[in-house]
Amino acid sequence: MMSCLSVDQKLKKAQSLSRKGKIAEAIEQLQQILSDFPKNNRAKAAIAKLNGRDDSKLTALPSDITKRITSMYTNGQFIKAAEYAEQLIKKFPSSLLLWNLRSSSEFRLNRLEKAEAGFRFVNQLNPNYPDGYNSLGNVLRSLSRFDEAIENYKKTISLSPNHFHALYNLGLTFHSIGDFENAIENYQKTIELKPDFKEAYYRIGLAFKNAKFKNYKEELQHTMVSLLEKETLIHPSSIAHAAVTLLKQNPLIQSTLKQTPTSECLESIIISIKTLSKQPLLMKLMSCCPIPDLEFEAALISIRRSILFNINDLSNNQAIVHFQNVLAHQCFINEYLFIEKEEETENIKILERSIKKSFQTGCQPSSNEILCIASYRPLNSYEMINQTTFQTESQTVIKLQVLDHEVENRLQSEIPTLKELSNKISLKVQGQYEKNPYPRWVMLGLPLKPSTIKEVVSQIALNLDNKEIESVVKPKVLIAGCGTGQHSIGTASRFKNADVLAIDISRRSLAYAKRKTVELGIDNIRYMQADILNLEKSENKFHIIESSGVLHHMEDPILGLTILSSCLNRRGLMKIGLYSEEARKHIVKIREEIRVSGLEPGDRQMKLFREQLKTSKNQHHKIIRNTSDFFSMSDFRDLVFHIQEHRFTIPQIKRHLSQLGLSFCGFEGTEVISKFRSVYPSSVDLYDLDKWHRFELSNPWTFMGMYQFWCQKA
């Protein structure tokens, strides 16, 4: 039965499908026309052209063959599709469709030389076929022939300017060679053409990590906001530096930062607040991660103080309630890092008494007053909070500072304990994290989809002595030291069908982790309070164990590593994160300064010491204030005030792994590996710890965060 579409409409539809690269569907549409109008020359000519023939009188590829081979490819039967296409090409040697499907199948089978030859012939058959050049570009990118890949993507775009796949692939290629500016530009164009392209957002987020903007681009501010609003595509702190450099190119921001308001001038306060409130990226960023910039910090400290000193004149001023709401988020997230002068402390006490008096007389404090308090002290520390009726503007602050805290208090009692802690150092470290769960976070980036162990091994190019682990379908995973859940949630989302046990010595950190796990709807993690030392006689064995940033805070890190190794299955994989001796020389100096001065890790002393670092001209002080860890209390405490810290060298790691029968499988971290390969291009070199040691000595900041490496049990 004929469709209600006219012949012209069907021809236009086939044209549209062809432009989108949907050749098989276009041919099927045209064959519908021929089934009703066998002599329609326009349909014949179009089919012949799509099959790579210029002669419209030649017989088109039969519809049953088209459907069969297309079905093979779309169902992932790439070997069958390639073999069937090769047979048919003998009969239809100039069929664009057959050559395209055969070459695509070869590409999916990683037969890159055959795929390259095939797509080159596709482009000979039809030099004006955009997808042929795009596909050839994909093959060349897989072969690391990036210049040739870029040339083919640009050819695709010249033939089809709205070919968003080619723009995206061009972005990927620039990304691969470290050209983040061009990568971002092409990802941005992709997003503008296809706003629902999740992968493009994910990739532009990764590119933003390395970006530093010299010019202001409004469209990038909106893209960053959209990226952050998607909540699980990127960790906000990973793009915060790029976002700050972009915002500071905005003339309005520049003038506001230069004209910091004083407490005496109410008008200047309101102008500054209104200006900053109109920057959606700044508002979004302040609500989800610490702002890693001292100029912004100075402005926010001044505005916070000015609001406090003028609170009576600002009462019920809705124009600044929104900004106060975001400021209260920022202060809570950075754990009230901002320095507080004595007169501010006195004014806070006055405001607290005023609010208490309001309740006694049956009145409610204004939103401005409550939010002012919330930008200096967590609201969960006040009993009066239960008497407060909150307006809509304050609801997100109440959830963050009060309701979440109540949920965590309830969850603490539900978390089982393996065994009471007894090691003195473990107890001290536990005390630090019970008081200050670390890190405090709002949202994080998760993989677009979970992967099998084999896929993860391939993605991060691990060198396995034995590939038996790759066949495990439902891996049992241990996260040893999960903190507040970023690690456990990330790993549970990374590995397909993973059954995750996450342990930590801090019950408050575990409660935070469990709350966030529930909020994100993740159901494959079990939490337990436990010390790694108490796993020594555990009968549980795991396919994968991950412990990042934990062992170096133990009394005996190698004992901890030994115990974890005993919990690992034969051929199992372990990911370890350890501090680098080379990369933390500046931290060692600062820790020694703290020790000599007798400073204690109390909030007040830490803030005063940090103020000294902010203005110091010493090089090792300048280094630390350029890191994101400088911009939250927990990060700063963990960085320089931690009660226990060990550091390692690569030769030490090599020796300890050998002693435990663990083979080094590779470091994790795209940027680190890319820099290493610029010096040692051979893929074999990636697994040579002696060469990594030489590389680190020449590039001492390589492992500024920590060594993150994988090893395998024999």
pLDDT tier, 57 (very low <50, low <70, confident <90, very high otherwise): very low
pLDDT level of residue 24 (50, 70, 90 thresholds): low
pLDDT in tens, 165-181: 999 999 999 999 989 99
Question: Rounded mean pLDDT of 260-282?
Answer: 83
Average pLDDT of the residues in 172-192: 94
> Which of 32-41, 209-218, 308-317, 521-530: highest mean pLDDT?
521-530
The two beta strands, 476-480 and 499-504, are parallel
User: Does residue 54 carry a pLDDT above 60?
Assistant: no
Q: Model confidence over 415-446: pLDDT tens digits? A: 999 999 999 999 999 999 998 888 899 999 99
DSSP 501-524: EEEES-HHHHHHHHHHHHHTT--S
pLDDT for 391 equals 66
Report pLDDT for 367. 87
What is residue 552's predicted lDDT score, i.e. its pLDDT?
A: 97
In this predicted structure, the answer to whether residue 336 has a pLDDT above a threshold of 60 is yes
Closest by CA to 29, choosing from 49, 9, 14, 47, is 14
Assess whether pLDDT exceeds 70 at residue 1: no
Report the alpha-carbon angle 301-303-309, nearest 5: 105
What average pLDDT does range 552-560 have in this prediction? 97
Looking at residues 672-694, what average pLDDT do you find?
94
DSSP state of 198: H
Q: Is the dihedral of CA 335, 339, 344, 346 positive or negative?
A: positive
Class of domain 424-582+647-713: alpha beta
The predicted pLDDT at position 420 comes to 92
For residues 127-132, average pLDDT: 91
Distances (CA, A) of 561 to 488, 513, 572, 580, 653: 19, 24, 14, 16, 11
Q: Do residues 711 and 665 make contact, with C-beta atoms less than 8 angstroms apart?
A: yes
More confident residue, 56 or 538: 538
Average of per-residue pLDDT across 324-332: 97
Q: Give every strand in the sheet of 525-529, ordered side by side.
A: 525-529, 499-504, 476-480, 542-548, 568-578, 707-713, 662-667
Residue 319: is its pLDDT beyond 90?
A: no
pLDDT at 394: 79
Is 2.40.37.10 the CATH classification of the domain at 7-206? no
CB of 139 closer than 8 Å to CB of 129: no
Residue 84 tokens read as 């069937």
Q: Span 664-684, mean pLDDT?
A: 92
User: Rounded to the nearest 5 degrees, what angle is found at the Cα of 648, between the Cα atoms of 645 and 650?
Assistant: 165
59 pLDDT more than 50: no
pLDDT at residue 694 is higher than 60: yes
pLDDT attached to residue 45? 75
Task: Report the mean per-residue pLDDT for the chain.
Answer: 91
Which among 215, 233, 225, 305 has a CA at the least distance from the CA of 268?
305
Percent of the chain predicted with pLDDT > 90: 74
Q: Give the pLDDT confidence score for residue 265 in this predicted structure.
A: 75
pLDDT of residue 286 exceeding 70: yes
Judge whether residue 53 has pLDDT over 60: no
pLDDT digits (tens, 9 = 90+) for 227-253: 999 989 999 999 999 999 999 999 999
Q: How confident is the model at residue 56 (pLDDT cuts 50, 70, 90)?
A: very low
The length of the chain is 714
| Mean pLDDT across 365-383 | 91
Q: Is the pLDDT of residue 127 over 50?
A: yes
Residue 669 pLDDT more than 70?
A: yes
pLDDT at 518 > cutoff 70: yes
Domain chopping of the chain, boundaries: 7-206, 250-410, 424-582+647-713, 590-641
d(CA 54, CA 77): 30
Residue bearing tokens 């062992």: 551
Q: Bridge partners of 544?
A: 477, 573
pLDDT grade, residue 23 (50/70/90)? low
**In this model, does residue 318 exceed pLDDT 90?**
no
Residue 526 and residue 492 in contact, taking contact as beta carbons nearer than 8 Å = no
Q: What is the pLDDT of residue 386?
A: 73
Query: Residue range 204-212: average pLDDT?
Result: 92
Return the percentage of the chain with pLDDT > 70, whole number: 94
Is the predicted pLDDT of residue 492 greater than 70, yes or no?
yes
Whole-Å CA distances, 678 to 154, 193, 309, 682, 685 = 26, 34, 55, 10, 11
pLDDT band at 539 (very low <50, low <70, confident <90, very high): confident
In angstroms, the Cα distances linking 14 to 9, 19, 27 are 9, 9, 7
